[in-house]
Structures are given as C-alpha cells and as structure tokens.
Amino acid sequence: MTTLDRTLAPPIQPLARVTLPDAAVSTLPGGARLHVLHNAAQPVVRLQAVFRAGKLAETKPGLALLTARMLLEGTATRTARQIADEVAFYGASLECEAGLDRATLTLYCLTRHLPTLLPLVQDVLANPAFPAAELAQLKTRTLQNVQVERQKTAHLATECFNEALFGAENPYGRPFDDAAFEALTADDAHAFHAVSYLVKGAELFLSGDVAGLEPAVAAVFSRLPDAGNARPAAPAAKSAAPNVPGTVLRVPLAGSLQASLRIGRHWPALGSPDTHRLNLLVKVLGGYFGSRLMRNIREDKGLTYGIYASVAPRERGTTLVIGTDVKGDQADFALAEIQNELRRLQEEPIPEDELHTVKSYVLGKFANELSTVFEQSDKYKTLIMLGLPADYYTTFVQQIESATAEELQALAQEYLSPESLQVVIAGPEGKQGR
C-alpha cells in the first residue's frame, strides 16, 4: 500500500494546448451576428445582446447609463413590476448595463424557458416606454449612490486617474456630471435608444444547452428596429491628457483616515505582439496573491489588506492600473515602495523559480477559467469585441511558456519606469509618509 507524503506538493502538469470550442456564426436579416456555443452539460442557457450603446456612443453625459437601466423599467405593454415578476416566475435573470464601449442585455434561464422568455426580451429591447415616475426614481437613486461613492477614496482616486490619463472630454476620462444626468429626459433616452439599440451591428452570444433554439433567437432579433435613421455623431473622443506622467495628483477628502493610490499608464492593446509577455510581467508585479507588491506592501510592510496590478482593455485605450488602499499617513511611503518594486523589475532579471511559479499560476488560472461554457463564451466574446485573432489564446499559452527573464526585464525597462506612470492619491490633505 502506497503511503501519501503530505509534505510534498502534487506535481504540476504542463497545460495542453488550449482551443476554444468552435462557435457557429450566422448573420441575421438586418445585420446582427449570432454566435452560438453549444454545451449540453447543464440544461441552462445564457443569451447576451451587445450593442454600440456604451459611454463612447452617448451624445449627452450619462445617457448610456440611464437608457440601459431604464430598459427594464417598463415597455409599451409591460410595467416594471410585470417584467420583474415574469423573470422571477421562470427563475431567470435579466439585466442591462452600459459599459464604456458597449451596452449588454444578459438573460440567464433554464433551456426549456428560453422560448417563453424571448418575447419579453424582444419587448424590452424594442419597445421601452421610459415612464416618467420610474425615470425620476432611477435618477434619484443614481445620484444618491454617486454621492455615497464620492465619500470613498477609492472612487475619487479612480475617477481622477482616468481623467488624468484620457482627459475630461474623453468618454473614458469624463467624470460623472450630476447636473447633466439630472437634466436628462425621457425624450433623450428615446432618441438614444432609437439609434443605438439596433439590430444592425449587434453581436448576439447564445451559449449553453441551446440545441434547436437558434431559429427562435434569430426570429426575435430579426424583428428588432433596423438602422432606418442615421446615427447622430457622438462628440469626438479627445485622447490628449492634460497631466504629465510622473506627477502626483492629490485628491483631498476631509476627515478620511484612508488613502487610495492609483498608479498607471496607457498600455499596449491586446493585439500587440508583446501582450502575452506583458500579461506575465504584470502578474509578477501584482497580479496574484504571491506577487511582489503583495509580498512587499502587505506581507512585509503591513500597509494594506491588498494591492493589485492589472490591465484594463478597452476598444480605444488600454491601461495598466496599480491600486491599493492604505492608512492615510502611509500613502507616500507605500508609493515609494511600489516604485522600488518597479525599478527592481527593470534592474534585476526575475529569478527562475519565481518565474516558473508565476507561469504555472497564470496557465492554471487560465485553464480554470475555461471550465464552463459561459466562461468559454466570455473568452470568445473578448476575441470578437476587441478584434483579436482566432489563435489568440493558443499564442497566449505558447508565449507564456516560452517567456524568458531577459524578455520580461526588457519589457519592464520599456513600460514600467516610475517616471512614465501617472500617480493619483486620494485621502487626507497634505503629503504624508514615514
């Protein structure tokens, strides 16, 4: 009988080449594309309809957010309560949110209920009523939530950081405008909906146990409004930022005991030849619990519960962000330690054992993120929305496995100079540190 030695970690197996399941893609009458990923492991389905109705497309500040959230607040034939009751009766989930680039309506339900719920989806997308009472309530709730968020240093730091990188006139950097949001009307939402939630240009993602359901979905989305009206041009997105990288912007919050740091820069898009090695470099810096920033700022110095470094991909501007919350009087000390870690990556090759550990983590996490059909659909959707090649994830695995310490050091020297990064600190007034 073999005795299990619990002092030894199980061996790490190399990740096999990864390919996403093939999606069946068809173009519907009117111009929408339907992407279908079938997996019958569970009798559930997810339907996502993605429209060019995000912040980039809005003609007035806050209009994309307002319109998306109002879609479930009533149609020409259903009240908000009726919509909610119908969704709940079938144990489903239906929501619509506007992001920076796109707006997405998402339905989760049991496979057998999808045909019954499709008319509701069509009604929500095609016939929103934007009723006055619900519109007023939504604006009040949103403005109250914004006021609450503005008492948090993390919100203030993130808002200032984005404005510093992109400028206040760019949708990616434009702060929330209370007065402009309050002034929005039902007519504004109707007009934006009429030119943004169109079948032409929509991307539809149907995943799960969907065998035989494609015709019903295609029929519903073929009946959505077409692009009969010309889309009014959204204001030009200016990309110039007014602040100089390397400077420290301070956002005071009276009475705060905490400070939030946001540090970063514009970053190569995911289509860049260096993107996968850069991903690995960011993981070494602050992309997992054992990263250098976590070991230094949390474990060694005890300045924070958590710190991260991540890449935020967007259609028109990807960024690197390092973020953490610390005690108010330790913000500058934390900043200095973060900068020390950046310089160390520039000056010293990553030790082989550390690099091996991070590679194993990155590849293992990636494999785990493909465990369900919905996660596979998310990966596939990223390829479509960001225009990435079909072999993107295969190349990802290959380049992570082959990346060398010398390559990562060269990338750190090119992209991680502290002088090239924008720094924002929100918290108590005045410069603080040990």
Comparing 7-16, 78-87, 407-416, which segment has the lowest mean pLDDT?
7-16
pLDDT in tens, 350-370: 999 999 999 999 999 999 999
Pairing of strands 44-51, 93-98: unpaired
pLDDT at 130: 98
Q: Let me know whether 126 and 268 are in one domain.
A: no
Q: Let me know whether 85 and 207 are in one domain.
A: yes
Angle in degrees, 0-180, between the axes of helices 405-415 and 352-368, rounded to the nearest 10: 80
**Is 43 within a domain?**
yes
**Is 19 within a domain?**
no
**Is 16 within a domain?**
no
pLDDT band with cut points at 50, 70 and 90 for residue 245: confident
**Is 434 within a domain?**
no
pLDDT band with cut points at 50, 70 and 90 for residue 235: low
How many domains in the chain? 2
Which CATH number fits the domain that encloses residue 381? Answer: 3.30.830.10
Q: Let me know whether 276 and 410 are in one domain.
A: yes
Q: Let me know whether 262 and 315 are in one domain.
A: yes
pLDDT in tens, 160-193: 999 999 999 999 999 999 999 999 999 999 999 9
Q: Let me know whether 214 and 256 are in one domain.
A: no
Q: Let me know whether 414 and 288 are in one domain.
A: yes
Q: Let me know whether 400 and 277 are in one domain.
A: yes
**Is 45 within a domain?**
yes
- Using the 3D structure, point to which of 187, 204, 222 is the last residue of a domain: 222
pLDDT band with cut points at 50, 70 and 90 for residue 15: low
For residue 392, give the H/E element and its range. helix 392-402
Q: How far apart are CA 287 and CA 284, in angstroms?
A: 6
**Is 228 within a domain?**
no
Higher pLDDT, 199 or 17: 199
- Using the 3D structure, point to which of 187, 206, 222 is the last residue of a domain: 222
Q: Let me know whether 367 and 291 are in one domain.
A: yes
Q: Let me know whether 71 and 210 are in one domain.
A: yes
Q: Let me know whether 183 and 316 are in one domain.
A: no
pLDDT in tens, 117-148: 999 999 999 999 999 999 999 999 999 999 99
**Is 14 within a domain?**
no
pLDDT band with cut points at 50, 70 and 90 for residue 430: low
- Using the 3D structure, point to which of 222, 256, 283 is the last residue of a domain: 222
Specify whether the CB–CB gap between 231 and 195 falls below 8 A: yes
pTM listed for this prediction? 0.91
Per the structure, the complete domain to which residue 188 belongs is given by 24-222
Q: Let me know whether 300 and 206 are in one domain.
A: no
Name the amino acid, one letter, at 209: D
Q: How far apart are CA 366 and CA 360, in angstroms?
A: 10
Closest CA to 427 of 331, 337, 336: 331
**Is 7 within a domain?**
no
Rg (CA), the chain: 24
Q: Let me know whether 322 and 371 are in one domain.
A: yes
Specify whether the CB–CB gap between 403 and 359 falls below 8 A: yes
Half-sphere exposure of 261 (CA within 13 A, CB side): 32
pLDDT in tens, 194-228: 999 999 989 999 999 999 999 999 999 988 877 54
